[in-house]
Amino acid sequence: MKVLVPVKRVIDYNVKARVKADGSGVDLANVKMSMNPFDEISVEQAVRMKEAGTATEIVIVSIGPAAAQETIRTALAMGGDRGILVKTDQTVEPLAVAKILKIITEQEGADIVILGKQAIDDDSNQTGQMLAALLGRSQATFASEVKIEGGKAEVTREVDGGLQTIRVNLPTVITVDLRLNEPRYASLPNIMKARKKPIDEKTPEDYGVDITPRLKVLKTTEPPVRTAGVKVESVQELVAKLRNEAGVI
Ligand code: AMP
């Protein structure tokens, strides 16, 4: 069974994002970039499936600038077999990503595509769902447990207020949530080995996909600064403040 794992290069989750002076977006100049944390979980899931003998090959795909090759290498060091870099310096919105992934999934004959539930830069949470729709395949989103058995996937999903378990037919598209697993760190020998694994280089034009953005960013702003708290002396004072100042009771 072939597994495709799309990984996105995003601003590192430890970096405090700063808005560009002209408000046109987040400043990414000289900022640490890493693999989207949810995509590390997808890679880990695919590698565990290969270790269990369920998956035979893991193909890693990234759509982005030349530096996204590093992200692919990280996934290869974790256990991916080979990579495809779809190189572009333009912003690629979820629909365009899904269209490119659809063609790659079909060309590769991938039985399962495992994506992150969302990329932490734009928090879109759209690509997996769009990909499943474009492919006409089943989808199991927000997975916190995945079992593959007899041509089906049993997936426990994190939904509001609890867990839901569904069974979907293969081929399918799965998006992973935070609790599915704890991704491994790539060992030094595996990082060295990953350098020799092949990465194909393509462009969106190779797939005939028009990636022109359909959305226009009107403005980007910093979140409001939190004002300092105050200490109250008594419950009475707290209640009075909640009633008279905050107006919440
Ligand atoms: P999003 O819909 O943008 O929140 O992203 C959800 C998931 O789609 C990510 O966790 C990745 O698995 C995948 N994805 C989104 N953008 C890209 C990209 N440019 N290259 C590869 N995978 C992507």
111 within 8 A of 2, measured Cβ to Cβ: yes
Atom 6 (ligand 1): residue with closest C-alpha?
Answer: 118
Closest ligand 1 atom to Cα of 119? 4
Task: Give the mean pLDDT of the chain.
Answer: 96
Asked if the bond preceding 171 is cis, omega within 30° of 0, the reply is yes
Residue in 35, 43, 63, 127 to alter for ligand 1 test, most ligand atoms within 8 A of Cβ: 127
pLDDT above 90 for 226: no
- Binding-site residues, ligand 1, Cβ < 6 A: 6-8, 36, 38-39, 61-64, 92, 94, 97, 115-116, 118-119, 122, 124-128
Tell me the pLDDT tens digit for each residue of 27-82: 999 999 999 999 999 999 999 999 999 999 999 999 999 999 999 999 999 999 99
Residue in 3, 4, 8, 62 to alter for ligand 1 test, most ligand atoms within 8 A of Cβ: 8
Q: Residue range 225-235: average pLDDT? A: 92
Tell me the pLDDT tens digit for each residue of 116-168: 999 999 999 999 999 999 999 999 999 999 999 989 999 999 999 999 999 99
pLDDT at 227: 87
Which whole-number Å values give the CA distances from 103 to 119, 124, 137, 168, 240, in the listed order? 21, 21, 13, 22, 62
| HSE of 226, CA atoms in CB hemisphere, 13 A | 3
Residue 187's pLDDT band, with cuts at 50, 70 and 90, is very high
DSSP string, 11-45: E-TTS---B-TTSSSB--TT--EEE-HHHHHHHHH
Closest ligand 1 atom to Cα of 86? 20
